[in-house]
Amino acid sequence: MPSDSDAQQERQALCDLFDQLGPEAPTLCAGWTTQDLAAHLVARERRPDSGPGLVWAPLADYTDRVRRSIRDRMTWPELIDSVRRGPPSLLKPFDPAMNTVEFFIHVEDVRRAQPDWAPRPLPPSLADALWKRVGAGGMAKKVAATVEITSPGRQPKVAGTGPSVVLTGDPGELTLFGSGRQQAARVEIGGDADSAERLRTASLGV
């Protein structure tokens, strides 16, 4: 299980980026500025009624209305403070499991949308937590292929049937690739060329 420090460190790193860049900075989340992303995180932790719309299309409009309402009602410092404080007390025990991967991805959504970004070294505990969560099954279903994900020093993960595609990268890069940030992830892709190309452009993640 990811440690509390991993979740908290990624949360604080994201809030530090918010402070540094301001509310209008671009992100990798299509159409969202940093202000939109912060409002999404506040809604996710403090408006559970809006959560189903993140995964179920018929409720997506309601979820977006909640996010926009929070964005427009709260000042930028208030949004950052709410994200920095984290979820209500009742949910804090679940913070590591719920938020380590989420906040890692969103830190990179902000970092990699800025000019001259570079990959950052990850603490071993965070790399381990990300590796435990990254999987090949969802990607294999998207492209009807056998997908193998590999990272130096770790046991490969394989899922699916059909032509073989091999993804190689650090756990963080593979996590970003599998979450739909293929163009921003530094991952090597080998194997069947057609399947590899489909995987590069597939709609992955939530």
Q: For 26-41, how does the pLDDT look when each residue is reduced to its tens digit (9 = 90+)?
A: 999 999 999 999 999 9
Tell me what the mean pLDDT of segment 125-142 comes to. 95
Tell me what the mean pLDDT of segment 40-66 comes to. 91
- The band of 1, judged by pLDDT with boundaries at 50, 70 and 90, is very low
| pLDDT value at 56 more than 90 | no
In degrees, rounded to 5, the angle at the alpha carbon of residue 80 between the alpha carbons of residues 102 and 176 is 20
**DSSP letter for each residue of the chain:** ---HHHHHHHHHHHHHHHHHH-TT-B-SSTT-BHHHHHHHHHHHHH-GGGGGGGT-GGGHHHHHHHHHHHHHHS-HHHHHHHHHH-S-GGGGGGHHHHHHHHHHHHHHHHHTTSTT----PPPHHHHHHHHHH--SHHHHHHHTSEEEEE-TTS--EEE-SSSEEEEE--HHHHHHHHTT-GGGS--EEEE-HHHHHHHHHS----
Instruction: Give residue-wise pLDDT tens across range 170-187.
Output: 999 999 999 999 999 999
Listed by start position, the domains of the chain span 4-111, 133-201
Distance in angstroms (rounded) separating the CA atoms of residues 190 and 193? 7
- Model confidence, pTM: 0.93
Strands 157-159 and 164-168: unpaired
- The band of 86, judged by pLDDT with boundaries at 50, 70 and 90, is confident
